[in-house]
């Protein structure tokens, strides 16, 4: 009773911060000078906040990059063509 134990703080003093506020404060503290490198993942179902390691980086990771690429019409067309060629190659072998 009375004085709380060392290292234990009352719950009411806990500060709730969002993920982005944490990242922004880290950026301010480290003074990297690259606030433009902070962005969300370009793969919309993910949209996770991330810090770009390269100027051209748009995704938080390889998985999102692949997922995003595989949903493009260009990839779907490419795969359709590949499947058709594969089918005909298999067919030609049977003859």
Contact positions vs Zn ion (CB under 5 A): 41, 43, 46, 48, 60, 64
Q: Which is nearer to Zn ion, 24 or 39 (CB)?
A: 39
Among the listed residues 77, 75, 93, 23, the one whose alpha carbon sits nearest the alpha carbon of residue 51:
23
Query: Which phi and psi (to 5°) does residue 81 adopt?
Result: -65, -45
Joined together, the tokens standing for residue 77 give 């067309």
- Residue 35 CB, shortest distance to Zn ion, in Å, is 20
Q: Which is nearer to Zn ion, 72 or 77 (CB)?
A: 72
Q: Which is nearer to Zn ion, 24 or 49 (CB)?
A: 49
């Amino acid at each position: 009773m009375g004085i709380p134990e060392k290292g234990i703080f009352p719950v009411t003093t806990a500060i709730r911060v969002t993920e982005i506020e944490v990242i922004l404060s880290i950026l301010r503290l480290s003074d990297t000078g690259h606030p433009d490198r902070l962005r969300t993942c370009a793969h919309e179902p993910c949209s996770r906040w991330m810090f770009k390691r390269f100027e051209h980086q748009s995704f938080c990771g390889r998985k999102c990059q692949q997922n995003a690429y595989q949903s493009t019409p260009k990839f779907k067309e490419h795969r359709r063509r590949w499947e058709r060629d594969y089918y005909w190659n298999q067919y030609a072998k049977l003859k």
